[in-house]
Amino acid sequence: MTVNDEHDLLGLMEIGRICGLTLKHMQEHVRVGITTLELDQIGEAFMNNLGANSAPRVTYDYPGGTCISINDVAAHGIPGSYTLKEGDLINIDVSAEKGGYFGDTAASMGVGKISDEAQRLLDAAQAALQAGIAAAKMGQPVNAIGRAAEQVARNGGYSIIRELPGHGVGHGLHEPPQVPGFYWKQANRKMNEGLVITIEPFLSTGRGKIEEDGDGWTLRTTDRKLVAQFEHTVVITKEEPLLLTKV
């Protein structure tokens, strides 16, 4: 969507804040021994208390309030009986709806002490997001974001998972345009003032290819290599992009 007036901006800022606070709240509860279902219930209750609803439930009838992906799971991990273990990488993806506005944010983190390899991947994924955000400028093509993120990934020796792009958001969870985390020539739409998008490059230590599990949701790397991802919902402005989900 494109922000048309102050009402739009205030609605987006509110849901962005809720998404960011919910993610932070869930991260504070990450520990060895908690199940992903328990963590999801904590997050969904928190967002509900702030008057928001789980966007995946509202939009897709997803079997969880949030997406929680572990280690080689890139995205859409269903919360369940898995118990977090020392050294795991966990990605928490929070998207929510309130008053007809949608926000989307995510972050990866380690559980307890993690390997040097995992920490380097986390650092690179954060840097890729920041590079993408820095390239999100009014008048520039959308593919400038992916070019910047992909350069960071390649410099670190990582691959970008191409099947998982960012996207427009605002009146719905997934809207045009696609915002690839790599340089894609066809993503040449110029970013206009007020455009609302997510920036969310997925980095992997392996080839970056994914496949769907039998549950119809979980997306896992084919070579079972680690994945890390960070995501913000942003509004394109004449100056620096406005990070709606940063808290």
What pLDDT, in 10s, does the model give residues 12-63?
Answer: 999 999 999 999 999 999 999 999 999 999 999 999 999 999 999 999 999 9
- Residues 204-209: what's their mean pLDDT? 98
pLDDT of 36? 98
Radius of gyration of the chain (CA): 17
- CA 150 to the chain's CA centroid: 16
Distance (Å, whole) CA 59 – CA 24: 23
Residue 64 exposure: Cα atoms within 13 Å on the Cβ side: 25
Tokens of 170: 């605002």
Tally of CB atoms within 10 A around 91: 24
Identify which of 155, 203, 156, 195 has the alpha carbon closest to the alpha carbon of residue 178.
Answer: 195
- 156 to each of 159, 203, 221, how far by Cα in Å? 9, 10, 19
Tokens of 115: 């390997």
Tokens of 50: 């702030």
Q: Which helix (H) or strand (E) holds 92?
A: strand 89-98
Q: What share of the chain is helix, strand, coil (3-state, %, to 5)?
A: 30, 30, 40
Identify which of 110, 106, 124 has the alpha carbon closest to the alpha carbon of residue 245.
Answer: 106
For 6-243, CATH gives 3.90.230.10
Share of the chain above pLDDT 90, in %: 100
116-164 pLDDT, tens digit each? 999 999 999 999 999 999 999 999 999 999 999 999 999 999 999 999 9
- 115 to each of 89, 118, 120, 161, 228, how far by Cα in Å? 10, 5, 9, 22, 14
pLDDT of 150? 98
* pLDDT tier, 242 (very low <50, low <70, confident <90, very high otherwise): very high
Distance (Å, whole) CA 173 – CA 165: 13
